[in-house]
Amino acid sequence: MACTKCHSAAPHADKRLNDHLASVSCQACHIPQYAVERATKMTWDWSAAGKDLPITDPHEYMKIKGAFTWAKDVVPFYYWYNGRVDRYVPGDQIDPRQRTLSNSSRCLQFRRSCGIMSICS
C-alpha cells in the first residue's frame, strides 16, 4: 500500500520536506524501526537441521528446519534503490548524460535477514 493512498503527494506543511519525497521514501523518516511489538526472525541456519540439540524452544530450533535468531526494535538498513536490480562496480563507465542508478533512485528501508545453508558434496 502506498502512502499516497491516504496522504496527498505533498503531505508536509514545510515545502522543503515535500521536495525530498522524490529521493527519500516516507518510511525512511516515519518508520525508524520495525518489530516494535513482536520479534522478527533475523537469521535461519538450515545447516543446523537434523541435529539432536538440547534446545526445546521451537522459535530457536526445530530439527526439521534448523536454528533461528529473533530481534525486536530493529533499525532497518537504508539503501538507494530504483525498483530494479542493478549495480555499479569500480571501473564501470557512467555517461553523465544518462540517468544512473544513483540519480533515479530513492532512499528506502530494507530488512536484512541472513540464512546459512548446508552444502552437500
Q: CA torsion, points 28, 32, 35, 37, in degrees to nearest 10?
A: -130
Phi, psi of 81 (to 5 degrees): -145, 135
Residue 5 falls within a domain, yes or no?
A: no
Using a cut of 0.95, tell me whether the model's pTM lies above it.
Answer: no
Residue 10 falls within a domain, yes or no?
A: no
Residue 7 falls within a domain, yes or no?
A: no
Residue 26 falls within a domain, yes or no?
A: no
How far is residue 8's CA from residue 55's CA, in Å, rounded to a whole number? 50
Q: Report how many domains make up the chain.
A: 1
| Mean pLDDT, all residues of the chain | 86
pLDDT in tens, 38-63: 999 999 999 999 999 999 999 999 99
Confidence band, pLDDT 50/70/90 cuts, at residue 121: very low
Residue 56 falls within a domain, yes or no?
A: yes
* Higher pLDDT among residues 55 and 102, named by residue: 55
Q: Residue 58 sits in which domain range? A: 34-84+101-116
